[in-house]
């Protein structure tokens, strides 16, 4: 899929950084394909577990007030 990046000659600093990160994490990027019953391709469960905390932050004004910033 992204194998063209491994041998590509890049000059843009951001593109080089992305290439390095993809190369370093290649084996874990698509692990969900090898283990479809164990690993989900999305982070829905993680985001759903954070929702109650986000609601509390919104209700309490989070860091908008002086006390919330301390």
Q: Locate the domains of the chain by residue range.
A: 1-37, 40-70
Identify which has the larger pLDDT, 18 or 69: 18
Cβ-contact 36, 19 below 8 angstroms: no
Residue of 4, 30, 39, 35 lying closest to 19 (CA atoms) = 4
The answer, yes or no, to whether residue 69 has pLDDT greater than 60, is no
pLDDT digits over 40-66, tens only? 888 888 899 999 988 887 777 666 666
CA dihedral sign, ordered 46, 25, 21, 11: negative
Q: Is the pTM of this model over 0.75?
A: no
Phi, psi of 65 (to 5 degrees): -105, 160
């Amino acid at each position: 899929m992204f194998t063209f990046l491994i041998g590509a000659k890049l000059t843009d600093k951001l593109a080089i950084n992305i290439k390095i990160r993809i190369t370093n994490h290649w084996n874990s990027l698509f692990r969900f394909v090898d283990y479809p019953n164990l690993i989900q391709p999305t982070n829905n469960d993680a985001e759903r577990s954070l929702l109650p905390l986000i609601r509390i932050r919104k209700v309490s004004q989070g860091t908008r007030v002086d006390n919330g910033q301390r």
